[in-house]
Amino acid sequence: MFKDKKVFLAYLSVCIIWGSTYLAIRIGVESLPPMLFAGTRFIMASGTMLFYAKVRGLKFPEKKIDYIHTFITGLFLLTGANGLVVFSEQYIESGMVSLMIAICPLLIMIIEVLILKAYKIRMTAVIGTIIGFSGVAFLVVSNSNLGHFNTLGMTLGLLAPVFWAVGSVYSKYNKVNGDIVPVIAFQMLAGGVGQLIIALARNEFAMLQGIEASGVFSWLYLIIFGSIIGYSSYIYILKHLPASVAGTYAYVNPVVAVILGGLILNEKISFEVILSTLIILIGVVMVTQTKKEKNI
């Protein structure tokens, strides 16, 4: 799967770094308005990367259609998926949100196979898909019974992977000419502007008060590691691996997120959460390890 060392390192960074971003987001939204927090993060990261691309003389996209594809990807992945994650973490624990995002590979497989008909899959993958969604259903139902259920938080958390899966597949099948750094920077710009528009609509600037040092540190961490390093690595592996394989970083993210949430924020690691994790990951592994044959 990883014949190129750079692809492997990019994949590994996404697995670990993005697992930690759930914790950083949870800390950030405790003192900063969600869309303002997220939007400014991507605008800052975008500006930094565009400056770097200009200084290095990297090739920018030239055609209008390239910018359209780039902006659409940014709106789905960042304004949509990331925005929903940030909103949901105001209401539910970071580890739980990461478990919901873990169904991304399953959704990507469904889009590629059933809608785009890019691959044929075996019955094992179908069973894996059912198992994976059963794990998410168990997570939702068990937390409802335990009194941890928040309807809005759960709904937003479940919608986020839908946007992420659509954006990932769109990016994979709509290639953009130009070096990867400026392309990613424009995706972040589109996503950040979209989030700031939502922030303005919600009058979040008026909510900005009592900023804590922890919120600022989490904001900086997300700019440098979550956006510039993590997001860049994800787009890089999308260019070199099938979208369904690139999306398997979501196997590791919940493990990292649940452990960090428990250690730093004292989030409860219940038996139900552990069992949900195992069920979801078994389903995802069954899907992605099943041999796929391209349609002709």
CA–CA distance, 136 with 48 (Å, rounded to integer): 37
Q: What is the reported pLDDT for 296? A: 39
Q: What is the reported pLDDT for 200? A: 96
Q: What is the reported pLDDT for 241? A: 78
Q: Which residues does 139 contact at the CB level (< 8 Å), separation at least 6?
A: 96, 99, 100, 272, 273, 276, 280
Q: What is the reported pLDDT for 159? A: 94
Residue type, 269: I
Q: What is the reported pLDDT for 151? A: 83
Q: What is the reported pLDDT for 256? A: 82
| 150-163: pLDDT as tens digits | 888 888 998 999 99
Closest CA to 34 of 73, 2, 79: 79
Is the separation of the CB atoms in 18 and 228 below 8 Å?
no
Is the separation of the CB atoms in 233 and 11 below 8 Å?
yes
Write the CA distances from 36 to 87, 158, 188, 193, 197, integer angstroms. Answer: 11, 22, 14, 10, 9
| 253-283: pLDDT as tens digits | 777 887 888 888 887 777 777 887 788 778 7
User: How much of the chain exceeds pLDDT 90, in percent?
Assistant: 40
Q: How many CB atoms lie within 10 A of CB 269?
A: 16
Provide the residue-wise pLDDT of the chain in tens; the chain has 296 residues.
556 788 888 888 888 898 899 999 999 998 899 999 999 999 999 999 999 999 999 999 989 999 999 999 999 999 999 999 999 999 988 878 887 887 887 788 788 887 887 767 777 777 877 887 787 777 767 765 544 568 888 889 989 999 999 999 999 889 899 998 999 999 999 999 999 999 999 999 888 877 889 999 999 999 999 989 988 888 888 888 776 677 777 777 777 887 888 888 887 777 777 887 788 778 767 766 655 555 53
Residue 33 backbone phi and psi in degrees, to 5:
-60, 135
Residue type, 115: I
What is the CA angle 67-70-74, rounded to 5? 135
Q: What is the reported pLDDT for 39? A: 96
Sorted by where each begins, the domain ranges of the chain are 5-294
Q: What is the reported pLDDT for 77? A: 95
Q: Which helix (H) or strand (E) holds 134?
A: helix 123-145
Q: How many CB atoms lie within 10 A of CB 126?
A: 15
